[in-house]
Structure 1
């Protein structure tokens, strides 16, 4: 009985802690990118893309294939990859490989930022922002659909 109660409490607590509702303000944070350069979230960001799994990161990578450097920045899009669950041995190979990307990847090494925004780990979360406030939230599992959404973000 106590174990069941504890499981329910933990589940409910985790659901509330990970979801953002429209109208909520994104709290300021600073994380390093794949080049160990700090990136500080600003209210100018229009879209925050968050990937919390390798599958989600692959969707972003495929959507960004052949895009020029500065593509995301021109659209005021910031991409955050949660790498907290990647073993340190895996990070030794993964982070250097990320340096080949033509776009900035903000790395959440502790998982403290990404978890505030994402409930589903298997998809890319798209947070549409206006002046640092959440307007809309979508998820993507298809690189083509994400790529089309990024193209529309230029408007």
Structure 2
């Protein structure tokens, strides 16, 4: 019985991290696959977050056959959480392969950004922003759903 207060107190930080509609997102800066810096600002309207390789593959499939600059035209930014990927694998294989993508991938190598936005590991988290504030959030489990949502987000 005396373990309950300890358990509840240990879970309190997890509840505090929940991102709520109306909250302003704290700015951050990450490097993309070309080592070019990007800073989250008020111009970003959509933030896509993938916490796993499977989720990142959903984004890739949704963007298949789209022209270069497709995400940028929609003021969308894609963040891939690669903190669990071994650094040597990332450096020698994964990141060089990402340079062939027709879209930018902001690489969260140290887990500084993606954990701020809680969601399922196997889904793509879509955060809809307006002037830096969260106005909506969704999760997509299929490339078709994500592609449809991106099409609706006209430039």
TM-score, normalised to structure 2, is: 0.92
Aligned to 2:27: 28
Aligned to 2:70: 71
* Cα displacement string for residues 22-62 of structure 1 (whole angstroms, at most 9, x for unaligned residues): 00001111110000000011101110000011111111010
Asked if the contact 1:43–1:132 (Cα under 8 Å) also holds between the matched residues in 2, the reply is yes
* Cα displacement string for residues 75-123 of structure 1 (whole angstroms, at most 9, x for unaligned residues): 0000000111111232131111111100000011111111111231111
Query: How far is 1:5 from its partner?
Result: 5.5
Distance 2:78 2:31 in 1: 12
Q: Secondary structure at the match of 1:101?
A: coil
Query: How far is 1:9 from its partner?
Result: 3.5
Distance 2:116 2:127 in 1: 12
Distance 2:149 2:10 in 1: 35
Q: Secondary structure at the match of 2:89?
A: helix
Aligned to 2:90: 91
Distance 2:110 2:10 in 1: 20
Q: 1:3-152 counterparts in 2 under 5 A?
A: 6-17=6-17, 19-92=18-91, 93-152=93-152
Distance 1:101 1:142 in 2: 19
RMSD of the TM alignment (CA)?
A: 1.7
Distance 1:2 1:90 in 2: 45
Q: Secondary structure at the match of 1:24?
A: coil
Counterparts in 2 of 1:4 and 1:89: CA distance versus 1, 3 Å: farther
TM-score, normalised to structure 1, is: 0.92
Paired residues, number:
154
